[in-house]
Amino acid sequence: HVQLVESGGGSVQAGGSLRLSCAASDNTYSGECMGWFRQAPGKEREGIAMIAVSSGDAYYDDSVKDRFTISRDGAKNTAFLEMNSLKAEDTAMYYCGAGELVPWAGTPVPCSAQHWGQGTQVTVS
């Protein structure tokens, strides 16, 4: 069972930046994608960014496109989310997920996560 451990959340003023990290406990884990998802109070969890493990292709939801950048260190099996120009509406619990590509799902972030991290809070004021 792969464990994902997130870090890097916190509180920041609007316009600021944060960098989230997600490390997989099993360095040999070879899922098809790693992604970042977020859930604001009273809302459903939504995928905001993902990276395909084999190709490195990245996908973003429109709400974060051009502000957030997802990347991955293959050797360490760690994914990162660089978040710039943060807005109050970015406030949420952020979760890392890893799993399978679902290109037929019709979503901007086609990563179906089977493994989840514990979440890290991002608060923008």
Strand duo 120-124 + 10-12: pairing: parallel
Strand duo 92-101 + 78-83: pairing: unpaired
Average pLDDT score, the chain = 93
Mean pLDDT of 3-23: 96
Predicted confidence (pLDDT) at residue 28 exceeds the cutoff of 80: no
Chain Cα centroid distance, residue 12: 18
Backbone torsion region of residue 9, taken as left when φ is above 0, otherwise alpha when ψ lies between -120 and 50, otherwise beta: beta
Mean pLDDT of 98-109: 91
pLDDT tens-digit series, residues 31-72: 899 999 999 999 999 999 999 999 999 999 999 999 999 999
Give the pLDDT of residue 109: 93
CA dist., res. 79 & res. 81, Å (int): 7
Give the pLDDT of residue 110: 94
Give the pLDDT of residue 30: 66
Phi, psi of 6 (to 5 degrees): -95, 155
